[in-house]
Structure 1
Amino acid sequence: MKLTNKNKYLLAGVVAMLLLSYRLAIHKTLMVREEFYNSLGKKESITNLPRQLSMLGQKEKTLDAQLVAFDVGNSSLQNNLLKFLNQEASKNQVKIIDFNSPHVVEGEKGTTETHILHLEGGYTDILKTLNALENKGSYGAISHLAFEKKKNYRSKRTYLQAQIFLEQVK
């Protein structure tokens, strides 16, 4: 079977017609189909918008309630910590003996601030204060606690002091 010039022209014409029909009809159809699916995705996101908006509103209210519960103001963390300690110490009859600036260490996991506190009072009262400090406040975790019984020889009075390392990783 030998191809003649007529058959060659016919075959070339068919291929040209296929390419032309793809370019004029099928290509446009595929582009419109892609645009349609994109608009369907946008429509779904728009229909979910009120639900997402209400969820964000609820999340905002929850976070605001947590901020009010933690009583975090515009002042620094150290001021908030001291204010919280004063409230708990007065509630539990504990004295704050020493409250220094934090010791800052930068490591691989981030910056670690360690506040060193000295409290004086009864054993259970100090523990109540420390429990409130760790559970109610968002000031960090107690990494070290040392109790020491001391005696004032002038007044012949013994008292209990606690040294606390409050550690917060930022």
Structure 2
Amino acid sequence: MRQGEISLVGVLALFSIYLMWKSAELPIGYIRGQGPGGGFWPFWLSLGMLLSCVSIAWNWSRGKSPASASDEPLMDAFGWRTVMLVGGGVVGFVALVPIVSMYGAVCLFMLYYLRFLGRHSWPLTLGLALMLPFALFFFFEGAMQISMPQGLPFTQPFFDLMYDIIY
């Protein structure tokens, strides 16, 4: 598991560098009167991913994560359990998008991930699970003008209210 963790971090770091390089072919800064350049979001998100990889590698070198402290050849029981719980949550998230909308699925996934997997307090869990979908809505629908899946008709009152706020 130890070797697998650092190998995956290395692959992700190389992918981050590649994405930064490719996105730098477009303007990565703010263009006066036009907004962010075409490479702005991919570049800065890739930089964030690269910095996360550096942080993971740092913790790996100090043996701070369960995977970096493991001597198992592939994955121990904790690793398999984590893959199943997180992977199952992601599958559930994707399955819920056409039903409860992208934002509803984000809310439910955050509830599951923070409270049940992360064992965080209810105030923190509810705060993040409710605020993140609103922030994502205003970012994608308002700032970027990109519509996300809206789910079944019962979610329409939420979208009507939110569109009234931003338009």
TM-score between both structures, scaled by the size of structure 1: 0.21
Higher helix residue share: 2
Q: Which has the larger radius of gyration?
A: 1
Higher strand residue share: 1
TM-score between both structures, scaled by the size of structure 2: 0.21
